[in-house]
Structures are given as structure tokens and as C-alpha cells.
């Protein structure tokens, strides 16, 4: 039986300059990008493409044009921005913010008015 790991991979045969044919294996598709907080799949982000293929896309084809695009999902971005707003205006203290959100809230404080 073929090794279970190899069943996920695609065999690629290439001829070397010396004339030998070598077989190597590569993963066919990359997985979906997920939200850093809740793990939900991100929208507007390429998946199934290898990093070299993603690099060749236009900038706006790689991720949406907004804060935390390609990192957080829309729902988590909203939570973070709301918390940042409360902290900025003294409604909440940073120590009252959920620990998971804190690093993102710190970053969002730079853009929240």
C-alpha cells in the first residue's frame, strides 16, 4: 500500500539536465485562511493556490482593503474596533478587554477616532 501521506500529494516527474527522471511530491492545494481569533474561514482571500501563485495576483486580489483584512473575520474585526472605541473614550479600561482581543485592540487604537 502507498504511504498514507503520499495519497494526499501529487507526484510530479521532472527530467533533470542529466537526463534522469526524478519524482517528487507536492501538496496540490493550500487550505483556507482562517480568522486569528475564532478560526472562521476568511472571505476575499485566495485559497487552493500555492504561495508563488498568490504572489503573482494583484494586491487587491490577495485580501480585502480594510483593517485586519486577511487576519480577522468581519465579526471579530467589529468586536475589536468597538472595544478600541470604548478604550479610547474611557468607557472601558484595557484590563477589562478580553485577553484574546487585547493585541488587536492595541493595534486598532491607532486608527480609531
Q: Which residues bind Zn ion (CB under 5 A)?
A: 35, 37-38, 40, 73, 76
Helix, strand, or coil (residue 22): strand
Residue number with CB closer to Zn ion (36 or 109): 36
Residue number with CB closer to Zn ion (37 or 81): 37
- Smallest separation (angstroms) from Zn ion to the CB of 36: 7
- Smallest separation (angstroms) from Zn ion to the CB of 100: 10
Task: Choose among 101, 24, 34, 19: nearest CA to 70.
Answer: 34
Helix, strand, or coil (residue 61): helix
Residue number with CB closer to Zn ion (9 or 102): 102
- Smallest separation (angstroms) from Zn ion to the CB of 15: 46
Grid coordinates belonging to 113? 477616532
Helix, strand, or coil (residue 64): coil
Residue with cell 472601558: 92
Amino acid at each position: 500500500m502507498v504511504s498514507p501521506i503520499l495519497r494526499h500529494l501529487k507526484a510530479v516527474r521532472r527530467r533533470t539536465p542529466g537526463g534522469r527522471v526524478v519524482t517528487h511530491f507536492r501538496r496540490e492545494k493550500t487550505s483556507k485562511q482562517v480568522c486569528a481569533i475564532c478560526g472562521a474561514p476568511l472571505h476575499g482571500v485566495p485559497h487552493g493556490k500555492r504561495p508563488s501563485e498568490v504572489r503573482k495576483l494583484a494586491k487587491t486580489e490577495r485580501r480585502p482593503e480594510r483593517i485586519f483584512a486577511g487576519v480577522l473575520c468581519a465579526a471579530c474585526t467589529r468586536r475589536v474596533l468597538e472595544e478600541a472605541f470604548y478604550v479610547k473614550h474611557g468607557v472601558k479600561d484595557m484590563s477589562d478587554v478580553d485577553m484574546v482581543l487585547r493585541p488587536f485592540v492595541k493595534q486598532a487604537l491607532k486608527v480609531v477616532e
